Amino acid sequence: MLTKRVIPCLDVVLGEYGGCVVKGVEFVNLRNAGDPVELAKRYNEQGADELVFLDITASHEGRRTMIEVIERTADEVFIPMTVGGGIKTIDGIRSILRAGADKITVNTTAVKDPSFIKRSSDIFGSQCIVTAIDCRSNTSIEDPHAVNIIKNKDGKPAWYEVVIYGGRTPTGIDAIEWAKKVEELGSGEIMLTSMDTDGTKDGYDIPITRAISRAVNIPIIASGGAGNIGHMYDVFSAGEADAALAASIFHFGEYTIGQAKDYLRSRGIPVRL
């Protein structure tokens, strides 16, 4: 049986002097230094399976992903690293992979130009291309864009609509159909975030995670809503996810990666220790 992956997510924003800080991290040294590399090292030591860096300002304000952070992290950390935010070109992917990332994630660019997934996976291999799907449940089930109706987290019939630009712009695309399409185009994984649960700490969105896990044959990284390690168990067992992404529960020191994995293992979820 394949082991389930536990992945800390570092949301990176541009610092006042062009440096980088990690949003929402309260480790004092980090905050002063504004340096996500130290946090990446800590997670590496704790036994994280992978790391995800998201430049959360890039898509919105057109900033290029910060290459120096990737280079410095790659020098210190030896677990797979996925980088996303503002990636719009093949050259952009090449520069991030050259800097030391193992995979890249695309979202808005892929929705606006689906052929970008195929071109990038043809060049770099599908194992390097993770498509991020941000979605939100929409209870207007008479909407002509609604293809797959499921019960949402509140138990109401809904379809899940893909949203872009950090969740600000609805697209009219059914998320389950889009997941099938990105697999067809050559994406190696999907990073799925439900905007209904993102930041709530009330748990992942199990219904859409399970629906997309069942609709495709590529791994699903569940994101958005982790408030405790029990939520990780839920998304692996009920949500059928292959990996769980979390930020604040690790950043604020509520749990270590090791504690999360010990708990998951004790409940029968196979993890790499």
Known catalytic residues are 11, 134
Dihedral of CA atoms 40, 77, 269, 156 in degrees, nearest 10, equals 50
Query: Cβ contacts of residue 136 below 8 Å, gap of 6+?
Result: 160, 161, 163, 167, 170, 194, 195, 196
CA 128 to CA 106: how far, in whole Å?
11
> Whose CA is closest to 192, among 225, 169, 144, 159?
225
Q: How far is CA 39 from CA 27, 149, 163, 199, 225, in A?
A: 9, 40, 30, 20, 21
> Whose CA is closest to 81, among 97, 99, 101?
101
3-state secondary structure 127-185: HHEEEEEEEEEECCCCCCCCCCCEECCCCCEEEEEEEECCCCEEEEEEHHHHHHHHHHH
CA 109 to CA 88: how far, in whole Å?
6
Q: How far is CA 191 from CA 104, 135, 259, in A?
A: 11, 11, 23
Helix (H, G, I), strand (E, B) or coil at 51: strand
> Whose CA is closest to 247, among 233, 262, 257, 239?
257
